[in-house]
Copies of this chain bind each other. A is one copy, B any other.
């Protein structure tokens, strides 16, 4: 069994934003030399997500508006008790649960084994600082 590990670093200038990280993940898989296996891609931070969906700007706007309805940004500790700690990112910990922490993708013939529209995104909900994504490849 082979394994390979890399971290990718992102700094989203806004509080919330999505970055297509498929090229970096595909490059990591190629570097690993694994022809058949699995790759785990996860946010290493608990106010961020990795998810798979469409690379369509209108949809990303829709996600932002929808997540803001489901878990609005509110720095006050009355809505989010988490903000009693002095943080203002209670909402981000909720948005991340909707969008998920990680994806696991099959590797077949050395490539990401994807349907026609699948793209991997880093989802940031408390940005304006550097944060990391872990890519771990195992297989043969």
Listed in ascending order, the chain A residues whose CB lies under 8 Å from chain B are: 1, 3, 5, 36-38, 40, 42-46, 51-54, 56-59, 61-63, 66, 70-71, 77, 80-85, 90, 93-94, 96-106, 108, 113-118, 132, 134, 136, 138-140
Interface of A is mostly: mixed
CB atoms of A62 and B81 under 8 A apart: yes
Distance A113 CA – B5 CA, assembled complex (angstroms): 10
A122 → B minimal CB distance (Å):
13
Q: Which residues of B contact A71 (CB under 8 A)?
A: 66
A54–B37 Cα distance when bound, in Å, is 29
Would you give 22 A-B contacts (Cβ < 8 Å), ordered by A? A1-B1, A1-B139, A3-B36, A3-B140, A37-B138, A38-B38, A40-B104, A44-B115, A45-B116, A46-B54, A46-B118, A53-B96, A57-B81, A59-B82, A59-B93, A63-B97, A97-B98, A98-B98, A100-B101, A101-B103, A115-B134, A138-B139
CB neighbours (8 Å) of A1 from chain B are 1, 36-37, 139-140
For the complex with contacts A1-B140, A46-B53, A102-B104, 11 further pairs of A-B residues with Cβ separation under 8 Å are A1-B139, A5-B106, A36-B138, A46-B115, A46-B118, A52-B101, A56-B85, A58-B80, A58-B85, A59-B93, A106-B134
